[in-house]
Structure 1
Amino acid sequence: MTVVSKENAEHYRWGDQCDGWHLVKSKSLSVIQERVPSGCSEVRHLHKKSEQFFFVLSGCATFEVNGEVFELKEHQGFHVPSNTPHQLSNLGQKDLHFTVTSTPPSHGDRVEVRA
């Protein structure tokens, strides 16, 4: 057991400019801290098995979920059930920092979905 932070966690890049840090990476749970620069977004997708909880640390996240748009500000969260099409975007002026918790882990469970 050890104290974990983005300074000692496994890092990866996604999209063109986004960062992720695996804070917890086990068979049943994934907790990732992510950074999304202004103007960037992920592709619209769903997870067949994984449900996810997003929690904004700083910045503002725009979520499109099943055709409905939600804006999450600092210290707000959002639950996305499995099989639910969603897309996260940073339409704000500063970097978006958030955590995403997935159970089971969402890697290998992602299916891109067109709007």
Structure 2
Amino acid sequence: MKINKHIAEHYIWGDHCDGWHLVKNQELSIIHERMPANSSEVKHYHRLSRQFFFVLSGSATINIDGNEIVLHSQEGVEVAPLVPHQIFNRTNDEIEFLVISQPNSKGDRIVVD
């Protein structure tokens, strides 16, 4: 069955950010996310999930274990399990990106102070 963000299960997270579940099962999660200008998520890691962030539009900054990487449209980066990370939108425009998690990261997130 075809899927897109207009018919996918939607949720709101962080600073008025949006997420749409494109694939959601125990083994794999693919989420289309949108972050408004000048927003961020909390620093965290996953015990089991490996994640891949892929920017669809705009520029995102992601801090991975203390190293900041700027991802532009059509660029991505992998985050291994147990590695602290945090994504930011430090621009004046909204950004959209995919977060692919394997296995699904639900219940696997540990917030870092």
**TM norm structure 2:** 0.98
Deviation of 1:104 (Å): 0.4
Q: Which amino acid aligns with 2:29?
A: S
1:49 lines up with 2:48 in the alignment: yes
Task: Specify the alignment match of 1:88 in structure 2.
Answer: 87
Q: Which runs of 4+ in 1 moved over 4 A?
A: none
State percent identity of aligned pairs: 49
1:65 lines up with 2:77 in the alignment: no
The answer to whether the 8 Å contact 2:59/2:73 transfers is: yes
CA distance in 1 between counterparts of 2:15 and 2:87 reads 15
Task: Specify the alignment match of 1:13 in structure 2.
Answer: 12
CA distance in 2 between counterparts of 1:12 and 1:30 reads 14
Deviation of 1:107 (Å): 1.1
For these two proteins, the number of residue pairs brought into alignment is 113
Name stretches of at least 5 consecutive residues in structure 1 with no aligned partner: none
Name stretches of at least 5 consecutive residues in structure 2 with no aligned partner: none
Q: CA RMSD in A?
A: 0.6
**TM norm structure 1:** 0.96
Task: Specify the alignment match of 2:25 in structure 1.
Answer: 26
Deviation of 1:92 (Å): 1.0
